Structure 1
Amino acid sequence: MGFHEVRFPASLSFGSLGGPERLTDIVTLANGFEERNTPWAQARRRYDAGVALRSLDDVEALIAFFEARRGQLFGFRWKDWTDFKSGKAKATPDYRDQEIGFGDDATVAFQLVKTYRSGEQVAVRPIVKPVQGSVRMGLSNVEMREGVHYEVDTATGIVTFSEPPNRDVAITAGYEFDVPVRFDTDRIQTSLASFQAGEVPNVPVVEIRV
């Protein structure tokens, strides 16, 4: 699957509509009870890139980006302004934001993850497109140094330590991240008259598994 490690212009994604989508199969039994199941382990996010267009310059930038991706052919990075940090939305990422694993004296590579909590329930989301230069790592509440103690693969979200963390040592991380997406259409329809009338094109974008 083709993927371009380039971010959709953040100025155009700001103000767009979108968010997580789940797939739930629901069967109503004869007694009125329901059986519910899902084939998806992770949510899939959808967005509309057309909503945020504010000028003809924005339309020009969108069309250029769309053509460079060959429509649906190549994936790209998308900044979800409502969920792009390891911690609180208004806080700077801190190396203690997320616990991503524990040392075992052997493993050196760890996947970045983000845990969503509500009551006693949790959902763990793999983070596969961290933003370069934003990842901070810690071992037992001590911050490590990128390039000295660890390296980050921004194309996969895998952090590799220079030495395996000691057994039972908590590994924590803070970061900003993008969502891997593609256009969900091979056609963009725009017109000057429609745009001047306040109408914007529908430009669906959907998350992809990488």
Structure 2
Amino acid sequence: MGFHDVRFPASLSFGSVGGPERRTEIVTLSNGAEERSTPWAHSRRRFDAGMGMRSLDDLAALIGFFEARAGQLHGFRWKDWSDWKSCLPSDRVGPPDQPLGAGDGARTDFQLLKTYRSGGESYARPITKPVAGTVRVAVGGDERAEGVHFTVDALTGVVSFAVAPGLGAPVTAGYEFDVPVRFDTDRIEASVASFSAGEIPSVPVIEVRE
């Protein structure tokens, strides 16, 4: 098993169905009350790469991608069109978008995070597959230059500074990102509806936990 650092064709994933999944364990007590807990610290995303009526070239591209990944064997990048950048869909990525932590004068590595908030609650999601060339980082509100002040590991989402941010200095970042996934099937069933079109009803894809 390995991870291929290549993105599933974005033109084929556009229009796909999917999103986050949680696992909640619910125990109903004798008095009817519930106790709820979860073994998962983080959500897991599922998608369906199946295609309705598309060109035969599109089908060939999907089958070629599937074969190159050896079915479920190798992971790959997936663009989640509903959630693919650090800001709102209508906004442009900027260095203040997401807090990564605060400097202590010694720490040089910071994990990219995306925080989801509703009411008084929040969830910080680790971002492990940033899109190369899109990461913008600031320390104390001042933007830093990639390749000069910091580097980004595109396979882990870790930002590494050449010089540790000072004590209490807020570290923030903006970026585009992909989801690490694999096919959740070892079989593709395609139907050729005409000489110029065909369809693949369902190709499940699931997020890879790293």
Q: TM-score range, shorter-chain basis?
A: over 0.9
Establish whether residue 189 from structure 1 lines up as the match of residue 186 from structure 2.
no
Establish whether residue 146 from structure 1 lines up as the match of residue 146 from structure 2.
yes
Establish whether residue 44 from structure 1 lines up as the match of residue 44 from structure 2.
yes
Q: Deviations over 1:153-181 (max 9, x none)?
A: 10100000000000100000000000000
Equivalent residue for 1:173? Answer: 173
State which drifts further: 25-34 or 46-55. 46-55
1:14 and 1:52 in contact (8 A); partners too: no
TM-score (norm 1): 0.96
Equivalent residue for 1:120? Answer: 120
2:55 and 2:198 in contact (8 A); partners too: no
Equivalent residue for 1:100? Answer: 100
Unaligned runs of 5+ in 1: none
Deviation at 1:90, TM superposition (A): 1.7
| Alignment partners' CA distance in 2, 1:181 and 1:133 | 21
| Alignment partners' CA distance in 1, 2:75 and 2:52 | 20
C-alpha distance 195-175 of structure 1, shift in aligned 2 (>3 A) = farther
| Regions of 4+ moved over 6 Å | 194-198
The one-letter code of the counterpart of 1:95 is P
Equivalent residue for 1:156? Answer: 156
* Cα RMSD for the two superposed structures: 1.6
2:153 and 2:159 in contact (8 A); partners too: yes
The one-letter code of the counterpart of 1:207 is E
C-alpha distance 52-22 of structure 1, shift in aligned 2 (>3 A) = farther
Unaligned runs of 5+ in 2: none
Deviation at 1:57, TM superposition (A): 1.3
Establish whether residue 57 from structure 1 lines up as the match of residue 57 from structure 2.
yes
Percent identity (aligned): 63
1:194 and 1:200 in contact (8 A); partners too: no
Equivalent residue for 1:31? Answer: 31
C-alpha distance 46-136 of structure 1, shift in aligned 2 (>3 A) = same
Q: Secondary structure at the match of 1:165?
A: coil
The one-letter code of the counterpart of 2:150 is Y
Q: Deviations over 1:87-114 (max 9, x none)?
A: 0112111000000010000010110000
The one-letter code of the counterpart of 2:204 is P
| Alignment partners' CA distance in 2, 1:207 and 1:22 | 12
C-alpha distance 93-119 of structure 1, shift in aligned 2 (>3 A) = same
| Alignment partners' CA distance in 1, 2:148 and 2:27 | 54
2:137 and 2:174 in contact (8 A); partners too: yes
Q: Secondary structure at the match of 1:57?
A: helix
Deviation at 1:196, TM superposition (A): 8.2
Q: Secondary structure at the match of 1:93?
A: coil
Q: Secondary structure at the match of 2:137?
A: strand
Q: Between Structure 1 and Structure 2, how many residues are aligned? A: 210
1:16 and 1:52 in contact (8 A); partners too: no
The one-letter code of the counterpart of 2:184 is D
| Alignment partners' CA distance in 1, 2:177 and 2:153 | 12
